[in-house]
Amino acid sequence: MVPLSVLDLSPILEGSDAAQSFRNTLDLAQAAERLGFQRFWLAEHHNMPGVASAATAVVIGHVAGGTSTIRVGAGGIMLPNHAPLVIAEQFGTLAALYPGRIDLGVGRAPGTDQVTARALRRTLAGDVDRFPQDVVELMTYFREAQPNQLVRAVPGAGLDVPVWILGSSLFGAQLAAALGLPYAFASHFAPQQMEEAVAVYRQRFEPSEHLAKPHIMLALNVVAAETDDQAQRLFTSLQQAFLNLRFGKPSPLPPPVDDMAERFAQFGVDPSRMEALAKAVVGGPDTVRRGLDEFVRRYQPDEVMVTAQIYDHAARIRSFEILADARDQLAKAA
């Protein structure tokens, strides 16, 4: 069985606040560490009422400080929003504080709308077209400082901060392959080009000082509960959140509902056409075990990063416990 990791958006629940989200995030990370998950990543989003991890490096420090062995990182930092030197300093600081445990995944999307992107950057000079150059610049700051080097990342230079390319299209796959970097695909919300992106990455991969052979991680929504019906009900929180976002009304994560069909009808949406969630694994222990096994066998990832937007925190922890048990059963059967 391939390693499993956790992607967290530090969701802000309807009726709650960011402070509670951060407490929940740390509790989930501690549970993930106890359950043997490999990584715990947080994602950068802005102007999103349901996402508390906008200051991603700060939250990573919070999680790393409350855990001891699990790798903690960004899935990811939206690099066009930042100067590469600033990110190098932030993650150099994290790597100095928590050596051997920090990952840096970078993406080229803004993680927000264009108005907010402009507010973040003040100008749009750091646009997505410079993403490849920004990635290369970022990585140079993690190399050992050279004599007469005018600009250094302090801390950062000479520290071990693995850089991953994140993507939801062929662009990221091509860049990761060209640079010889590990690649993480956002199949938890954009699975349409997953198979093609994986194929492009593996076919075009160029070995580098960072990586000798392709290494791909696929993201997957998994909602597990004691029964299929219970899991399907928990899943309605994410379905509602996607509907709200799709129609321009992002919201805190709503509580589950008994009749999701009614919500789809209100929005005039055919649930079978919600391609963003097409790869989700939702169900009781047996369903989750079969779904995870099928996903891994079919797409052959080197790692799977699981996310679970579940309103009830205890139910969310339980979902990852069921998933860890499914992983262990599959590993024994292999």
Q: Which region holds residue 312: left if phi is over 0, alpha if psi is between -120 and 50, else beta?
A: beta
pLDDT 10s digits, 38-56 = 999 999 999 999 999 999 9
pLDDT for the residue 130: 87
Higher pLDDT, 130 or 229: 229
Using the predicted structure, report yes or no on whether residue 126 has a pLDDT greater than 80: no
Q: Is 110 helix (H, G, I), strand (E, B) or coil?
A: coil
What is the rounded average pLDDT of the residues 132-158?
A: 93
Give the CA-trace dihedral at 164, 169, 170, 175, to 10 degrees: -30
pLDDT value at 296 more than 70 = yes
**Tokens representing residue 208 in the block:** 């580098």
Lowest mean pLDDT segment, chosen from 166-170, 203-207, 241-245, 265-269 = 265-269
How many other C-beta atoms can be found within 10 angstroms of the C-beta atom of residue 28? 21
Return the amino acid letter for 26.
L
DSSP letter string, 240-304? HHHHHHHTT---SBPPP-S-HHHHHHHHT--GGG-GGGTT-EEESHHHHHHHHHHHHHHH--SEE
Q: Tell me what pLDDT residue 111 has.
A: 53
Q: Which residues on adjacent β-strands are paired with residue 40?
A: 6, 72
The answer, yes or no, to whether residue 113 has pLDDT greater than 80, is no
Mean pLDDT, residues 139-148 taken together: 92
What mean pLDDT is reported for the chain?
93
The predicted pLDDT at position 133 comes to 94
Torsion sign (Cα): 195, 197, 198, 202: positive
Say what percent of the chain tops pLDDT 90: 80
Which percentage of the chain shows pLDDT scores above 70? 94
Tokens of 28: 């989930």
pLDDT band at 185 (very low <50, low <70, confident <90, very high): very high
Q: What does the pLDDT read at residue 121?
A: 62
Neighbours of 262 (CB within 10 A): 9
pLDDT at 92: 97
pLDDT band (50, 70, 90) for residue 1:
confident
- What pLDDT, on the 0 to 100 scale, is given for residue 272? 76
Q: Decide: 105 and 75 in contact? Cβ < 8 Å.
A: yes
Q: Per-residue confidence at 144, pLDDT binned at 50, 70, 90?
A: very high
* Rounded Cα gap, residues 101 and 82, in angstroms: 23
Q: In the prediction, which pLDDT does 120 show?
A: 63
How many whole angstroms separate alpha carbon 51 and alpha carbon 64?
Answer: 19
Q: What pLDDT sits at residue 116?
A: 66
Domains of the chain: 4-226+280-333 (3.20.20.30)
- pLDDT tens per residue across span 196-219: 999 999 999 999 999 999 999 999
Is 112 a residue whose pLDDT tops 80?
no
Residues 104-127 have a mean pLDDT of 68
Contact (Cβ atoms closer than 8 angstroms) between residue 106 and residue 135: yes
- In the prediction, which pLDDT does 334 show? 82
pLDDT value at position 109?
74
